[in-house]
Structure 1
Amino acid sequence: MPMLQLFLTILLSAQLALALPLNDHVDPVQHSQATSCFPALDFKMPAAVPNNTAGWWCDASTEYAFVGFSYEVTACQSRDQLHRDFNDIRHHFNSRYVRLYGVCDREGFYDDIVDAAWANTLGVHALIWFGFNLDDVWEGRRDVLLGALHANPRAKFVTRVLQFGSEPLYDGVLPHDQLAEQVILAKANLSSLGIPVTVSELAYGYQERGGAQDVLDAIDSINIHMLPFFAQDASTATNAWPLVQRDLQWFIDHGDGKKMYFDENGWPSVTSPSVQPNSPNAVSNVANEKNYYTLLDQHCQDLKNVVGGGIGWFAHIYSDNMEPGYGIYDSSGRLKFPFAPRTHC
């Protein structure tokens, strides 16, 4: 009997040893990946770059309400500054994304963006910046960015979408058929990485080009400039919901059910030479900037119910040092008003 008891004890110990790794010693990174997705607010980045993006990205239906900030890069922020800002964007405001605006032509800059995004669990809406000079400098920027997306092993894990912008149709940078061709070529270039392509544009930019349905058909998601302050019938932010609905409905009618984001989206606190209303009743002040985002929060369920997985919206823009009047922070780095928008409803 003692020998039998000893044998049973050894057998039971072996079974427990085999069972423990499956129950008590689950790796926390593996567990988080099994129960979450990037860039959900509870997601934990893995220690090493995964082999592929299968199961990596959150479903589009989860990306509604506030998703993050437009972030201008014309200042060519240092790597350290990007890390500080992206940390604040993620952990202070519960952002899931940054949407790049403007351009920095410094060599290796997008690698710094990827590094800061990876370190702070943020996705990126990347941007090929056309500028406002109607020249072809954007072509070199396109090639540099496409090259960086292929060369950096982390890039496809943080780059949610590549945008052509900003407002190339409205600014007349390219005829709409040529812009659609550029989208198609970029999609082919990025097909092995699984990075979608879109255009960052106003409803009016499409409308003034006869609808530019070829562009709408080519893009993978619809990234909308929602700036109701500039409407001909604008007044105050609290009265802006019909203006938002009007532009949104146009995209619903012509967008074939594609996922939509409000990326350049906000209400200015001040006017400037480049920010002038088209309505004598449009009011620009801090209260109206705040009220616009409150309005979007109040209509969270309406935005969630929009075809394509609901509307995810960005606040344009992170700081007044980037775009005067639109920042959540003023030019001295102080919050202009309490800002804690809903990320779900």
Structure 2
Amino acid sequence: MNLVQVLSLAGSLAVVASSSLPSNTSVVDTHLLARKSSCFPAVGFRTPSYVPDSTQGWWCDPYTEYAFMGFSYAVDACQSLPQLRREFKDIRETYNGRYVRIYSVCDKKGFYDNVITAAWENSLGIHALIWFGFDGDYKWKSRKDSLFNTLYSNPKAKFVIRAVQFGSEPLFDWVLSPSELTSQVKAAKSKLASLGIKVTVSEMAYGFQARGGAQSVLDAVDFLDIHMLPFFSHQASTAQNSWPILKKDQDWLTARMGGKKMYWSQNGWPSTSYPGVEPNSPAAIADVANEKAYYQLLESRCTDFKYLGKGGVGWFWHIYSDEQAPGYGLYGWDGKTKFKFQPRTSC
């Protein structure tokens, strides 16, 4: 059975399954369910028991993706495969996550193979990351080579790795000049073209602005992974009043992206402050109430996300747990969620 047949069968099964839905569910809704479930990694889509021959017709159109995408997920703990499986399953089944955006790095050999395995088994797409770190060294080059080798050697890679990010914040941290980063993006696009894996940069609007706009980078990327951390803004007050700060950065990028897709990939408000995570405004408070309020703000703006930029804008929650980035996690140190989190994936 080829991929087209599998997708057709999936759509048919979705329509059949609709017979058990409440009587007030419309025919349009069941057709929408079937359509949305026929591409990866749409909510309701499950990876098949075998690896398809081609990615043709596999990926969902990115211009149909908006609202909640999934979680940013730090890997410096080099999580075991069982832990990746367990937490990726939670992201998918509890929160309808469609993607995991990798943050930080694990240099352990074979780690990305485990990420790919856990993602495949849980029908999650991955934004992989070439991590620059904060030490000013050149380890990112060997990390890039290692990741690319995995992407070519693992037969499932091109079916779950949606993109490779250069990050985090290479422009803001002055790791590379705009011209150097542009060259790296173009070289990576050429290297990964046969796999259909996209290339992006993980950066905040100010990182581009501080480097003269870095338009060559924006022109080179396939889409953009944007950092939205309004807690650090000099204009910050409460989380619930952050929308003007967010909208200003989004509008600046929209005007320069030429209609390319954009995601808020590193996006959140901390529940605690500490050296390195401190506000630039005395009115900005790091506590659980504001972290929750920031989530509620994102939820209340679902329609805005639907129409921000071409095809809407998707957002990730930064980050999965406080163990990965203290204060930012949905899950606290006790392993429990800090507040009710039930984000919409459409509206």
> Structure 1 counterpart of 2:96, which letter?
N
5+ residue gaps in structure 1? 1-26
Aligned to 1:297, which of 296, 299, 302? 299
Q: Distance in 1 between matches of 2:309 and 2:236?
A: 26
**Which of 236, 244, 247 is the equivalent residue of 2:246?**
244
1:92 match: secondary structure: helix
1:31 pairs, out of 9, 30, 38, with: 9
1: distance between equivalents of 2:7 and 2:253? 39
Corresponding letter in the other structure for 1:225: H
Residue 33 of structure 1 deviates from its aligned partner by: 6.3
- Partner Cα separation in structure 2 for residue 172 and residue 100 of structure 1: 21
Q: What are the Cα deviations for residues 218-270 of structure 1, in whole angstroms up to 9, with x where unaligned?
A: 00001100001111110001110000101001101111111000000001111
One-letter amino acid of the counterpart of residue 241, structure 2: N
Is the 8 Å Cα contact of residues 131 and 166 (structure 2) preserved in structure 1?
yes
Q: Secondary structure at the match of 2:172?
A: helix
1:4 maps to what in 2? none
1:177 partnered with 2:153: no
Q: 2:290 aligns with which of 288, 292, 300?
A: 288
**Equivalent residue, structure 1, for 2:137:** 135
Q: Which amino acid aligns with 1:56?
A: W
Checking the alignment, whether the CA contact within 8 Å between 1:45 and 1:118 is kept in structure 2 is yes
Residues of 1 paired with 2:10 and 2:328: CA distance?
36
Check the 8 A contact 1:96/1:122 in 2, yes or no: yes
1:148 to 147, 150, 160: 150
Name the structure 2 match of 1:115. Answer: 117
State the one-letter code of the partner of 2:95.
Answer: F
- Which residue among 258, 261, 275 is the counterpart of 1:259? 261
Letter in 1 for 2:320: Y
Q: Given the alignment, which residue of 209, 225, 228 partners 2:227?
A: 225
| Superposed displacement of residue 61, structure 1 | 2.5
* Contact in 2 for aligned 1:29/1:44 (Cα 8 Å): no
Q: CA deviation at 1:308?
A: 2.4
Q: TM-score, length-normalised on structure 2?
A: 0.90
Letter in 2 for 1:320: D
> Which residue matches 1:86?
88
Aligned residue for 2:272, secondary structure, equals coil
Question: Are the aligned partners of 1:328 and 1:337 in contact in 2 as well (CA < 8 Å)?
Answer: yes
Could you tell me which residue of structure 2 aligns to residue 8 of structure 1?
none
Which residue does the alignment assign to 2:16? none
Equivalenced residues, count: 320
Query: Which shifted more, 78-87 or 30-39?
Result: 30-39
Q: Corresponding residue for 1:19?
A: none
The equivalent residue for 1:331 is 333
1:105/1:141 contact within 8 Å kept: yes
TM-score (norm 1): 0.91
Q: CA deviation at 1:46?
A: 1.1
SS at match of 2:227: strand
SS of structure 2 residue aligned to 1:215: helix
- SS in structure 2 of the partner of residue 282 of structure 1: coil
* CA deviations over 1:293-322 (Å, ceiling 9, x no partner): 111111111111022211110000000001
Out of 105, 108, 114, the residue aligned to residue 107 of structure 2 is 105
**Change over 3 Å in CA distance of 1:33–1:198 after alignment to 2:** farther
Contact 1:234 1:282 (8 Å CA) reproduced: yes
**Bigger CA radius of gyration:** 1
Q: Secondary structure at the match of 1:192?
A: helix
Deviation at 1:29, TM superposition (A): 6.4
Separation (CA, whole Å) in 2 of partners of 1:106 and 1:60: 31
CA contact (8 A) 1:33 1:44 kept: no
Cα deviation, residue 44, structure 1: 1.9
Matched residue type, 2:10:
S
Whole-angstrom CA distance in 2 between matches of 1:164 and 1:309: 23
How far apart are 1:63 and its partner, in Å? 1.2
Aligned: 1:319 with 2:326: no
CA-based RMSD of the aligned residues comes to 1.3
Q: Is the 8 A contact 2:331 2:338 kept in 1?
A: yes
CA contact (8 A) 2:7 2:39 kept: no
Q: One-letter code of the match for 1:54?
A: Q
Alignment correspondent of 1:65: 67
The one-letter code matched in structure 2 to 1:178 is E
CA shift, 1:28, in A, is 7.0
Question: Matches of 2:310 and 2:197 in 1, distance apart?
Answer: 18
One-letter amino acid of the structure 2 residue matched with residue 76 of structure 1: C
Cα distance in 1 for partners of 2:250, 2:336 equals 32
Listed as ranges, the gaps of 5+ residues in structure 2 are 13-34
CA contact (8 A) 1:33 1:43 kept: no
